[in-house]
A and B are shown apart, each in its own frame.
Chain A
């Protein structure tokens, strides 16, 4: 009797201890993902942090397709067709007639209008900077109206978007997470719960959120009304692993199907994954450029010769090889390899030449070197600190007394924004696939260049940058961007582009195919994963 009660107790305890995780049904394809932190909200208008869920549960009018050769192109998504007026101001769209939200209601032009209007009327919207070119957007931001004049609905499936001034990169902007199309009825019904409560966040994407435990996990299931081919995975289980070591072990025990190599130590990638999992590594171009920034207002970097000497002093290939295992390509211009605007002609002008750097420093009157602060963001990846350490050594080799100062993230951002940071390294991953994204952000105005602590002074160049996005002829526009790139990097040595990296993932043997997101950041649409 006593033994029986002991056994009963043990069985009951086992039941209680192990009762919370539902088992997968036979043959059910469950994709398991691990993130280093939770998303903040599914509402893209309120976050710039992580777009993985919005990308999976909402659609955009257009998408960027990543080709096998690493190139990218714009393709239709829920917009079936579009045309652009000759003056580049009016974009006319026709929606697919079979697009439905996950509650079964059809997606219409009214939803597009509601989405773009909300982008500007929401008082804490953080997604206005790339879309203020829409006619009337600035008026809303200025509090003059709450109607967006630039969205003109013709009928349920047809509408125009009218711009204030021509902006050739606008189509690419429409393919970004910023422009996820939301349901008008859902926005009105959900109120402040939109983006936070799964059942109150309706999208037309391939998946919908079934459950979300804040800071812990999320479960996605297929949207039964999705207009395209159903997603390969029946369910997607996402778990937050704040510690890289735990995430690394989780992949090896089968708890994660796709390991983003951004989240693990480079040494582990080399020693473990490139040997034991060599056939399971997926690499894609990351549409981003790593830069070594120089503040042209900080003495003695006002001197062109000093900036050119710094360009020559830093061994970019050595940094790429030693920190990133050579997984990337050196770029000599602003635009990332593989992006629209990148040209082979604007490559090859930057050479590692420490002796030449010393000679230039001597010419500039700094034969004995000078003190130079390299500002590090202590919360950034270890790789960024490693880049600065190698750069520091390279600069010391030519006589520049470079020293690294660490700042916490917000202090680093504030110092950079104030225009007073002397030198630092930072990657820029494209928000939208167009040269205007990068060059406008860095050199589009005196405020922009100050905010990046570059303090570029040539206002003529800045005026040309600002005007380039309005050039309607595509060839002429790209030629102007190439000329500006040459002027800024080669002639004025305003920045030192380092390289464009490959984005690497390790996939489990349960995954047949995986297409990462074109932008190269870690957020991706789970629709791009095919399970075996």
Chain B
């Protein structure tokens, strides 16, 4: 518990640093949000008025501390373009991202672990080469290509799935596969190499000598001990997916965090971009913390060390 609290306290400087970094970055790049907001319609008088209303005429240091002060109270400001509180926009978008991330993670984990186990057991055989070839493709083929391919073949041509998200779970299957396949490739490769290492340990020979079945040896003894790095990767992948899958969300029209961030970048919507970056940073930090905790659950030596 002490360690958990320590890690949570450690989040504060990270969040402050990220906030400061994004705050400075958004203000040193050329261009201003008022120009974006007004588009082709403006007079200097209108520009000056909006600059004042949006507090952009205040000194930067004042803007920063005002932002941090409000953020601590849960107020991330109002989106320049969407005219709503940033917190509301994030909370509206997050469920879509969570649904997609959980489905993608489930697909990645089930397929990745199974493929990794089979490839390890059938090392250097046909299935091993097949699964590792597929996992290599999963890791190396860009997500936008996978997404467009699945959309074109399974939705547009074969009409097996909706083309884009329509609120039904079935419409999330293709984007989840597109997003999950990439992660499944990494998990499969890591599971395979971990399992092959463990299978060469003495205690596995002992287990076999006790007369346990092969399945029992693999699932009860080898797999658990080979999963430590895989679990870390799974937690990091999940937190990464939870912070928004920009490309997948765009292609399948899913109104998630990734789309919100893209729109904020395009419109130089500083409060919205700062809010989404801050939010995704928190998600990633929580993901890493969860990975650490899971690590200690799976490996008692780490728990004792803590």
Residues of A in contact with B (beta carbons under 8 Å apart): 16-21, 37, 40-41, 43, 46-49, 123-124, 126-129, 141, 195-196, 213-216, 239-243, 245-246, 249-250, 252-253, 255, 379, 407-415, 417, 428, 431, 441, 447, 451
Q: With A40-B82, A215-B93, A409-B31 as given contacts, are A447 and B44 in contact (CB-CB < 8 Å)?
A: yes
* Pairs across A and B, CB under 8 Å, 15 listed: A17-B170, A124-B50, A126-B41, A129-B41, A214-B82, A243-B250, A245-B148, A246-B151, A249-B156, A253-B156, A253-B159, A410-B31, A412-B31, A413-B35, A447-B43
Q: Which residue of A lies closest to B249 (CB)?
A: A242
Q: Which residues of B contact A252 (CB under 8 A)?
A: 156
Q: With A215-B263, A249-B163, A410-B33 as given contacts, are A48 and B83 in contact (CB-CB < 8 Å)?
A: no
- Interface stretch (choices B69-77, B251-259, B284-292): B251-259
Q: Which residues of B contact A216 (CB under 8 A)?
A: 96, 165, 253-255
The reply to whether A126 and B168 form a contact with Cβ atoms under 8 Å apart is no
Q: Which residue of B lies closest to A249 (CB)?
A: B156
Q: Which residues of B contact A412 (CB under 8 A)?
A: 31
Shortest Cβ gap from B136 to chain A (Å): 26
Kindly state the separation between the CA atoms of A48 and B40 in the bound complex, as whole angstroms: 8
Q: Which residues of B contact A255 (CB under 8 A)?
A: 163-164
Q: A18-B168, A46-B83 are in contact. List 18 more A-B contacts (CB 8 A).
A: A18-B170, A20-B166, A21-B168, A129-B41, A129-B42, A213-B255, A216-B253, A216-B254, A239-B166, A239-B253, A243-B250, A245-B151, A246-B253, A250-B164, A253-B155, A255-B163, A379-B266, A409-B36
Shortest Cβ gap from B47 to chain A (Å): 8
Shortest Cβ gap from A403 to chain B (Å): 19
Shortest Cβ gap from A34 to chain B (Å): 9
Kindly state the separation between the CA atoms of A255 and B253 in the bound complex, as whole angstroms: 13
Q: Which residue of A lies closest to B82 (CB)?
A: A40
The reply to whether A414 and B84 form a contact with Cβ atoms under 8 Å apart is no
Kindly state the separation between the CA atoms of A241 and B82 in the bound complex, as whole angstroms: 18
Kindly state the separation between the CA atoms of A18 and B164 in the bound complex, as whole angstroms: 13
Shortest Cβ gap from B119 to chain A (Å): 30
Please pick, from A239, A249, A409, A428, the residue contacting B40 in the complex, using a CB distance under 8 A.
A428
Q: With A126-B38, A141-B49, A249-B152 as given contacts, are A215 and B163 in contact (CB-CB < 8 Å)?
A: no
Q: With A214-B255, A246-B251 as given contacts, are A21 and B167 in contact (CB-CB < 8 Å)?
A: yes
Kindly state the separation between the CA atoms of A185 and B60 in the bound complex, as whole angstroms: 40
Identify which of residues 163-205 in chain B touch chain A, using a CB-to-CB cut-off of 8 Å.
163-170
The reply to whether B31 and A240 form a contact with Cβ atoms under 8 Å apart is no
Shortest Cβ gap from A56 to chain B (Å): 19
Tell whether B101 is near chain A: CB-to-CB under 8 Å.
Answer: no
The reply to whether B255 and A196 form a contact with Cβ atoms under 8 Å apart is no
The reply to whether B259 and A17 form a contact with Cβ atoms under 8 Å apart is no
The reply to whether B252 and A246 form a contact with Cβ atoms under 8 Å apart is yes
Q: Which residues of A contact B82 (CB under 8 A)?
A: 40-41, 214
Kindly state the separation between the CA atoms of A241 and B263 in the bound complex, as whole angstroms: 13
Q: With A196-B84, A213-B255, A240-B255 as given contacts, are A410 and B30 in contact (CB-CB < 8 Å)?
A: yes
The reply to whether B156 and A240 form a contact with Cβ atoms under 8 Å apart is no
Please pick, from B53, B167, B251, the residue contacting A245 in the complex, using a CB distance under 8 A.
B251
Chain B, residues 20-44, CB within 8 Å of chain A (1/0): the string is 0000000001111101111111111
The reply to whether B31 and A414 form a contact with Cβ atoms under 8 Å apart is yes
Q: With A126-B37, A213-B255 as given contacts, are A250 and B266 in contact (CB-CB < 8 Å)?
A: no
Kindly state the separation between the CA atoms of A127 and B46 in the bound complex, as whole angstroms: 9
The reply to whether A414 and B35 form a contact with Cβ atoms under 8 Å apart is yes
Shortest Cβ gap from B268 to chain A (Å): 5
Shortest Cβ gap from B153 to chain A (Å): 11
The reply to whether B31 and A408 form a contact with Cβ atoms under 8 Å apart is yes
Please pick, from A16, A141, A196, A408, the residue contacting B83 in the complex, using a CB distance under 8 A.
A196
Residues of B in contact with A (beta carbons under 8 Å apart): 29-33, 35-46, 49-50, 53-54, 81-84, 89, 92-93, 96, 148, 151-152, 155-156, 159, 163-170, 250-255, 259-260, 262-263, 266, 268
Q: Which residues of A contact B84 (CB under 8 A)?
A: 196, 214
Q: Which residues of A contact B263 (CB under 8 A)?
A: 37, 215
The reply to whether B46 and A129 form a contact with Cβ atoms under 8 Å apart is yes
Shortest Cβ gap from B175 to chain A (Å): 11
Q: Which residues of B contact A195 (CB under 8 A)?
A: 83
Give the interface centre of A242, A408, A417, A431 by most chain B CB atoms within 10 Å: A242
Shortest Cβ gap from A198 to chain B (Å): 14
Kindly state the separation between the CA atoms of A196 and B88 in the bound complex, as whole angstroms: 12
Kindly state the separation between the CA atoms of A412 and B89 in the bound complex, as whole angstroms: 28
Please pick, from A17, A43, A213, A415, the residue contacting B169 in the complex, using a CB distance under 8 A.
A17
Kindly state the separation between the CA atoms of A411 and B166 in the bound complex, as whole angstroms: 36
Kindly state the separation between the CA atoms of A252 and B152 in the bound complex, as whole angstroms: 12
Q: With A37-B263, A46-B83, A246-B253 as given contacts, are A417 and B166 in contact (CB-CB < 8 Å)?
A: no
Shortest Cβ gap from B291 to chain A (Å): 30
Which 5 interchain pairs have the tightest Cβ spacing?
Answer: A410-B31, A20-B167, A216-B255, A215-B255, A17-B170
Shortest Cβ gap from B26 to chain A (Å): 10
Kindly state the separation between the CA atoms of A239 and B163 in the bound complex, as whole angstroms: 12
Q: With A129-B46, A249-B151, A255-B163 as given contacts, are A215 and B260 in contact (CB-CB < 8 Å)?
A: yes
Q: Which residues of A contact B268 (CB under 8 A)?
A: 409-410
The reply to whether A48 and B38 form a contact with Cβ atoms under 8 Å apart is yes
Q: Which residues of B contact A241 (CB under 8 A)?
A: 164, 253
Q: With A20-B166, A196-B84, A415-B30 as given contacts, are A409 and B255 in contact (CB-CB < 8 Å)?
A: no
Q: Which residues of B contact A253 (CB under 8 A)?
A: 155-156, 159, 163
Kindly state the separation between the CA atoms of A413 and B46 in the bound complex, as whole angstroms: 15
Kindly state the separation between the CA atoms of A127 and B40 in the bound complex, as whole angstroms: 12
Shortest Cβ gap from B221 to chain A (Å): 32
The reply to whether A126 and B46 form a contact with Cβ atoms under 8 Å apart is yes
The reply to whether B266 and A409 form a contact with Cβ atoms under 8 Å apart is yes
The reply to whether B253 and A240 form a contact with Cβ atoms under 8 Å apart is yes
Kindly state the separation between the CA atoms of A18 and B167 in the bound complex, as whole angstroms: 9
Please pick, from A17, A43, A407, A414, the residue contacting B168 in the complex, using a CB distance under 8 A.
A17
Q: Which residue of B lies closest to A129 (CB)?
A: B43
Q: Which residue of B lies closest to A21 (CB)?
A: B166
Kindly state the separation between the CA atoms of A58 and B32 in the bound complex, as whole angstroms: 31
Kindly state the separation between the CA atoms of A76 and B255 in the bound complex, as whole angstroms: 40
Q: Which residue of B lies closest to A39 (CB)?
A: B82
Shortest Cβ gap from A185 to chain B (Å): 21
Q: Which residues of A contact B35 (CB under 8 A)?
A: 410, 413-414, 417
Kindly state the separation between the CA atoms of A395 and B152 in the bound complex, as whole angstroms: 41
Kindly state the separation between the CA atoms of A245 and B33 in the bound complex, as whole angstroms: 29
Q: Which residues of A contact B254 (CB under 8 A)?
A: 216
Q: Which residue of A lies closest to B148 (CB)?
A: A245
Kindly state the separation between the CA atoms of A407 and B38 in the bound complex, as whole angstroms: 18
Shortest Cβ gap from B50 to chain A (Å): 6
Kindly state the separation between the CA atoms of A458 and B92 in the bound complex, as whole angstroms: 53
The reply to whether B164 and A246 form a contact with Cβ atoms under 8 Å apart is yes
Q: Which residues of B contact A431 (CB under 8 A)?
A: 41
Please pick, from B32, B53, B251, the residue contacting A124 in the complex, using a CB distance under 8 A.
B53
Shortest Cβ gap from B42 to chain A (Å): 7
The reply to whether A242 and B259 form a contact with Cβ atoms under 8 Å apart is yes
Kindly state the separation between the CA atoms of A48 and B50 in the bound complex, as whole angstroms: 13
Q: Which residue of B lies closest to A127 (CB)?
A: B41
Q: Which residues of B contact A417 (CB under 8 A)?
A: 35
Kindly state the separation between the CA atoms of A46 and B82 in the bound complex, as whole angstroms: 10
Kindly state the separation between the CA atoms of A411 and B36 in the bound complex, as whole angstroms: 10
